[in-house]
Amino acid sequence: MAQLSKQKALKKIGVLNLQGAVSEHLNALTNIDNVQAIAVKDAVQLADLDGLVIPGGESTAISRLINQNNLATAIKQMAHQGKGILGTCAGLVLCGCSTSQNEVEQLKLIDICVERNGFGRQINSFETSLDIATIGKHIPAIFIRAPYIAKAGDQVKQLAFVNGHCVMAQQDNILVCSFHSELSDDNRIINYFVDLC
Ligand code: GLN
């Protein structure tokens, strides 16, 4: 019995499988013992999850596909139910409330205003390492056409900064990163997310 109670409950975590870095997140999640990772693209699958990753890619394309597949309501419902949602790069853009140009239809899950492509174009992609108070030190972070968080509401915890720009934030069960944590072998951010789910 003591053994059993020490085991962590199994969590079913979906990766939104519309466009972008889907397999990279599935690989990262598959390395965690108490996670069952699945690629999801319909509302029925979403209802059955403990958490959802919205991956990096192209936020305009993912937004269009969310609408085509009628998924916005199901994703918002997950957020309201307190289920964990991780938005990475384009996923961060989608989780936000506004962008400087208002060019993407956002889900408004976290009270942030996003500067899309704030760190420049593909050619300006870079890798750095971040100290994140609640998670750890020297965490590798890969930025590809990355956005930053230009403004955040009072309820939002701003967790990491690059050149004075916020690149990671959390509001309760919603976690967003400007960078691709799934492209490194370091599993501290994905573990932190799974604990939120
Ligand atoms: N710049 C892209 C967008 O706004 C995001 C890039 C990424 O996810 N790597 O959609």
What domains are there in the chain, each with its CATH number? Answer: 2-196 (3.40.50.880)
On whether the CB atoms of residues 118 and 147 are closer than 8 A, the answer is: yes
Question: What tokens appear for 102 in the block?
Answer: 């208002």
pTM, rounded to two decimals: 0.94
Q: Which backbone phi and psi does 46 adopt, to 5 degrees?
A: -60, -40
Which tens digits make up the pLDDT trace of 57-96?
999 999 999 999 999 999 999 999 999 999 999 999 999 9
Token digits of residue 161: 């900064």
How remote is the CA of residue 37 from the centroid of ligand 1, in Å? 23
Residue 43, phi then psi, degrees to nearest 5: -65, -30
- Catalytic residue positions, numbered: 89, 180, 182
Planar angle of CA 103, 182, 32, nearest 5 degrees: 130
CB-CB contact of 75 with 46 (8 Å): yes
Separation of CA 59 and ligand 1 centre (Å): 6
Q: Which residues line ligand 1 (CB under 6 A)?
A: 56-59, 89-90, 93, 116-117, 144-145, 147
What is the 136 CA–ligand 1 centroid distance (Å)? 25
